[in-house]
């Protein structure tokens, strides 16, 4: 069964500083990988996804992530954070099961706090 | 896209009562998912529909839970005889098909007192 580990429960960074959120996954085949963001009272919004091809993927809001098969990682990065980036970030792995179900398995999330 | 909508956004109920939640997916999406998210955790898969057929259920979905998607449009999730452990955010997501992203609704927050 697939699993996702987000080792950092809470990260605090200064506005304008760079950001890296860690994600490690466990899956037997080539994974589909996602990063979602959740703001208070809001649903999950997809930041970016990796299915195949270029291992560096660009997403919305200036985020990018790099798939490293050798390290089973899919870390999220942003060169300069804005106060509006404060939210909960979830890494997820998607795996096709029977009947075409592409259910997502999420990590426990990393809460990002931005300080002025 | 008008997005995925869920109703109600919040529900407070007493233990032992039945509750029903509704999810309206994006209109052209044939795949619909229910997830449950408890405090401090990521969402966990509950069940999956392709059109009107419920094709997979998680072990998390006890026999007190039932989900339907009549005519392959909106879906309902019913919890019978609610327990305090059912308190969570219930999220609905829909997608167009294979390798398409899942769009999530805002969720229904259930509190069982």
How is chain B split among helix, strand and coil, in percent rounded to 5? 5, 50, 45
> What would the mean pLDDT of A58-83 be, rounded to a whole number?
96
Q: Would you tell me which residues 13-32 of chain B have a C-beta closer than 8 angstroms to some C-beta of chain A?
A: 31
Nearest-by-Cβ selection for A101 from B40, B56, B101: B56
Find out whether B8 and B21 touch, Cβ atoms under 8 Å: yes
What is the Cα–Cα distance from A85 to A76, expressed in whole angstroms?
13
Q: How confident is the model at residue A98 (pLDDT cuts 50, 70, 90)?
A: low
Percentage of the residues of chain A whose pLDDT score is greater than 70: 96
- Report pLDDT for B1: 55
**Token reading at B9:** 């956004």
Question: Does residue A99 carry a pLDDT above 90?
Answer: no
> What would the mean pLDDT of A46-55 be, rounded to a whole number?
91
> What would the mean pLDDT of B61-89 be, rounded to a whole number?
95
**List of residues 6+ apart from B94 with CB closer than 8 A:** B4, B23, B25, B26, B29, B31, B32, B33, B102, B103
Question: Does residue A13 carry a pLDDT above 60?
Answer: yes
Q: What's the burial of A92, exposed, middle or buried (CB within 10 Å: 0-12/13-18/19+)?
A: buried
- Report pLDDT for A40: 83
What is the Cα–Cα distance from B97 to B31, expressed in whole angstroms?
6
Cross-chain Cβ contact A100/B50 below 8 Å = yes
Question: Does residue A95 carry a pLDDT above 80?
Answer: no
Q: Which of B24, B33, B43 to mutate to test the interface with A (most CBs of A within 10 A)?
A: B43
> What would the mean pLDDT of A89-103 be, rounded to a whole number?
81
What is the Cα–Cα distance from B90 to B37, expressed in whole angstroms?
6
Strand runs (DSSP E) across A39-108, as ranges? 44-50, 56-58, 64-68, 73-78, 87-94, 104-106
**Among the ranges given (A25-29, A93-97, B32-36), the one the predictor scored with the smallest mean pLDDT:** A93-97
Which residues from A are below 8 Å from B91, CB to CB? Answer: 43-44
- Report pLDDT for A27: 85
- Report pLDDT for A10: 97
Question: Does residue A90 carry a pLDDT above 90?
Answer: yes
What is the Cα–Cα distance from A116 to A16, expressed in whole angstroms?
9
């Amino acid at each position: 069964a697939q699993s996702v580990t987000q080792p950092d429960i809470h990260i605090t960074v200064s506005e304008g500083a760079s950001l890296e959120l860690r994600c490690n996954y466990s899956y037997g085949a080539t994974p589909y990988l996602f990063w979602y963001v959740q703001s208070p009272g809001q649903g999950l919004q997809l930041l970016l996804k990796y299915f195949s091809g270029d291992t560096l993927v660009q997403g919305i809001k200036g985020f990018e992530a790099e798939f490293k098969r050798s390290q089973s990682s899919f870390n999220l990065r942003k060169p300069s954070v804005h106060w509006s980036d404060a939210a909960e970030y979830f890494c997820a792995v998607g795996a096709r099961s029977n009947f075409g179900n592409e259910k997502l398995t999420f990590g426990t999330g990393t809460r990002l706090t931005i300080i002025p | 896209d008008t997005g995925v909508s869920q109703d109600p956004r919040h529900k407070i109920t007493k233990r032992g009562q039945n509750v029903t939640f509704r999810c309206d997916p994006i209109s052209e999406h044939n795949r619909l998912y229910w997830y449950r998210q408890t405090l401090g955790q990521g969402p966990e898969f509950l069940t999956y529909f392709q059109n009107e057929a419920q094709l997979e259920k998680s072990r998390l979905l006890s026999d007190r839970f039932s989900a339907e998607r009549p005519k392959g449009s909106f879906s309902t999730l019913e919890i019978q005889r609610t327990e305090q452990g059912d308190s969570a955010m219930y999220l609905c997501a829909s997608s167009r098909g294979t390798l398409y992203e899942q769009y999530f609704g805002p969720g229904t927050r259930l509190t069982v007192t």
